[in-house]
Amino acid sequence: MATSGARQARVRRSWNRDAPWYDSLMRHYDRLLVGDGRSRVCAQAGREVLEVAVGTGRNLPHYPAGAKVVGIDLSPGMLERARPRAAASPATVSLVEASAAALPFADARFDTVVCTLALCCMSDERAAIGGCTGCCGLAGASCSSITSPARASRYGRCSAWSYHF
């Protein structure tokens, strides 16, 4: 059995390899399954937002002006592709290479956690959610997501949801 460090390195290599073509695949999913889910999820965001698995930054254009978004991703290749969207976003965006299961942020730093189409790709989504709850202030905080395409295919479209702590 691979150690968590070896598994994380393997996952990082995989996403780095997939980064150049990821947007062309997601354009298809966004059109067929996600619809306006990204804009609905991002519209619910507070002022201090942690976006987990920011990927190529497909959500970044949808955040409102005045929001401060920290987007994390395990893959430097994905983060590199997210930089142009971060620069063009109406929100103030910074991008950080990090794992959701081991976040480098102080407790209660964020009022919102956003994670779209990513929990289904994590080897330990419970550890990722646990990592996010610590850095998100519990009073009035929310976690927003869009279900995965695999899960959505059962229902026909992706759905946006929010969970308030």
pLDDT in tens, 52-77: 989 999 999 999 999 999 999 999 99
Burial letters for 56-86: b for 16+ Cβ neighbours within 10 Å, e otherwise?
bbbbbebbeeebbbbbbbbbebbbebbeebb
pLDDT at 57: 96
What residue spans define the domains of the chain?
Answer: 4-164
Q: Is 80 a residue whose pLDDT tops 70?
A: yes
Q: Is 89 a residue whose pLDDT tops 60?
A: yes
Per-residue pLDDT reduced to its tens digit, 96-111:
999 888 888 888 888 8
Look up residue 125 and give its two tokens. Answer: 């989504």
pLDDT at 164: 39
Rounded distance between C-alpha atoms, residue 85 and residue 89, angstroms? 6
Q: Does domain 4-164 have CATH number 3.40.50.150?
A: yes
Band of residue 92 on the pLDDT scale cut at 50, 70, 90: very high
Q: What is the mean pLDDT of residues 9-32?
A: 83
